[in-house]
Every structure is written in structure tokens, then in C-alpha cells.
Structure 1
Amino acid sequence: MDFKVRLKELRKSKKLYQEDVASKLGIARTTYASYEQGSREPDHEMLVKIADFFNVSIDYLLRGEEHYKELASELNKRSDTRYAAIDGHDFEDDEKDEILVNALKQIDGLEKIIKEHLEKKDKKNNK
């Protein structure tokens, strides 16, 4: 799955029309439609706006869930990746993959949280 497909799925999951998203992003519907069609790619600034609007990371927009799964699989192959049993429960391999995928997504989300924190701090310091 590529960017244009993920973008369309995100919009549909929120039950929005292209016009709705375009308006929120401050662009023409035709520009937004061209992103979903793959005939045009957003610049970095617009990628940030799209990621913020849909509350996902830029990494997710560009590489999707598959990226996290591949990364989790690679991490699970390492001998230094350990899972502590909780209440004596050992994890199956597929559970380990799922745990890592979710953790990697959350780590990506931290970028957005840190950025927002720094922006608030800058505004506060500039007053």
C-alpha cells in the first residue's frame, strides 16, 4: 500500500469528503484530490499538516504499517531484544511482533508531542 491509498483510507475512516480535508488543510480540493490520485505529492510542510490532521506520523503516511511490521520482525531477530513475562505469562512470537509494532507507532507519535511542547515553550518564552 502506498501514500495515496493510505491517505484515502484515512479520510474515509473519518467519513470526510475530499473538500472537507482540503478546507482544513487550506488547499484546493483539486490539489488534495491529486494527492489521493498519486498525480501530485505534497511538500514537507503539507505532509506535516496532513499527519497532524489525521493524527498519524509522517513515517506512517509515507511507509505505512508494513514498515513497523518489518522493523518489529528485525528487532525480534536480535538476541538482545527481551520481553519480560508479566504475571508469569510468556509471549508468543506473533504477540511479540504486535507489541513491537504498537510500541514503534507510539515512539513515532512522541515526535509530534515533543514538537508541540517545544512550540508552546517558544511561545511562552517569546511573550
Structure 2
Amino acid sequence: MNTHFPRMISLLRKEQKLSQKQVAADLGISQALLSHYEKGIRECGLDFVVRIADYYSVSCDYLLGRSPDRSGTVLTAEDLPDIEDVGKESAIGSTGLLVMLNKKLISNSLYIIFDLAARTKNRFLISQISNFLMMAVYRCFRMLYATNPKNSPAMFRLPNVLAEGYADAAMRGCAADLECAVSGEAGILHGGEIGEIEPLAVTTQSLGADYPLFSASLLNLVKNAEEHLPH
């Protein structure tokens, strides 16, 4: 059974604020059957996949999780725009292509992350997101630095035996603060100084409209990340 299809047809319906009853009537099936499809209780035929793809104006590949892009486009590194023209820094060969693709996915996605964070108008949330991401980059750099045992440990204030644990704890602290801030409970921990967070209304459609150049990168990154998570 395809696990993406039930999630995607439910997401699309909710994004467009449609009821199961209305969608079922439009597609000529019972509400109970649509509910079963959305919950993954029953599998549908190929004809229904095509019909519901047409109904939501998306591709079948998008519904089936084969592409994170609504049109079904499968991206390559050349398809993704650069925020800055730094092509000369790319390595050569197959690893260079992998570096180029992932660099664009991450840098373009970060553009959206920081823009969305700015829209919350909350300095605490922006700071904690920044601290979390900077710590992730710090950890990656230390791992790369450690590939050569001849590199001087004096590059860093903390020795390796302490740095990884402390960095992990710092990231967990940032994540906890962010969860508290988003849930509205962070004021308890920080004396009510965090302030209000402007709520963000985000859909796959709005991402495409607000970030036409970079939304595909973020959606691909989400897809790639979730493939590394337990199902």
C-alpha cells in the first residue's frame, strides 16, 4: 500500500478547506469510501488516482509521493536556482554534483525558513532558530575537520570529547524553547518576555506562490528528510 497517497489527498482537501462530503460528491463516491481512502484503510484504483489528481490540479506522481512538486517535476541540481553565484566553489565530478544539489536544496530552503521566521515578528523565535542552525553547522564542520588527525585541535575551544555532547544539548535546548514558544508556554520559562508570535498560514500552494523560485527546494528537502525517518 502506498503510504503517501492517503496523506496527500487528505492534505490537499484540508488545504482547500473542503469537506469530505463535498469532495466525495464531486468525485461521485460515498463519503465513507473517501474517508477510507484518506485513512489508508482501502486502496483505490488507478482511475481514481487520475480523477483526484485532476480534481486538485496536481500530478499523480505528487499524490503517490514520487515527486514533492505539485506538477510532478523531478529536480536536478541544474533546475534549482542559486541564491548567490558561487559556482566556482563547487567540486568536480559525481561528488560535485551531489554537493551542488544538496547545497542548493539547503540554502534555498533556509531562505524560506528565515523569511517565515521574520513573518512571525518574534525575536526570540528567530534567535533560537538561528542558534539551532548555527550549532548544526558547527557540528558538521567539526566532523569534517576531524577527518584529518593532523589538524590542530587548537582550532576549537572545547575538545572533541566534550563538544559533541554539549552541542547536542544546546540544540535540544533550542528545540525545547522553540516548542514552548510555538505552544504559547515559553512565557513560563522566560518570565513572559518572549512576546506574541504572529501565526503563519502555510500550505503547499502558498509556498509555491510566495516563493516561486525556492519552494521546490524546500519540498524536496522535506521529502528527502522524511525518507530517513522511521515509517
1:90 aligns with 2:85: yes
Q: TM-score, normalised by structure 1?
A: 0.56
* Residue 63 (structure 2) aligns with: 61
The Cα RMSD (Å) is 3.5
Distance 2:10 2:60 in 1: 15
**Residue 4 of structure 1, CA deviation:** 1.0
Aligned equivalent of 2:6, options 4, 12, 16: 4
* Residue 109 (structure 1) aligns with: none
**Residue 33 of structure 1, CA deviation:** 0.5
Aligned equivalent of 2:27, options 25, 28, 40: 25
- Contact map agreement 2:81 2:214 (CA 8 A) in 1: no
Identity %: 31
User: Could you list the runs of 5+ residues in structure 2 that have no partner in the other structure?
Assistant: 88-102, 109-212, 218-231
Q: TM-score, normalised by structure 2?
A: 0.33
Tell me which stretches of 4 or more aligned residues in structure 1 moved more than 3 Å: 81-85, 95-102
**Residue 99 of structure 1, CA deviation:** 5.7
User: Could you list the runs of 5+ residues in structure 1 that have no partner in the other structure?
Assistant: 103-127
Distance 2:81 2:39 in 1: 45
Q: Which has the larger radius of gyration?
A: 2
Distance 1:8 1:25 in 2: 14
Q: Number of matched residues?
A: 91
Q: Which has the higher helix share?
A: 1
**Residue 2 of structure 1, CA deviation:** 1.7
Distance 1:38 1:99 in 2: 31
Letter aligned with residue 10 of structure 1: L
The change in CA–CA distance for 1:99 and 1:11 in structure 2 (over 3 A counts) is same
Residues 1-40 of structure 1 show CA distances to partners (whole Å, capped at 9, x for unaligned) of 7211111110001111111100000001111110001011
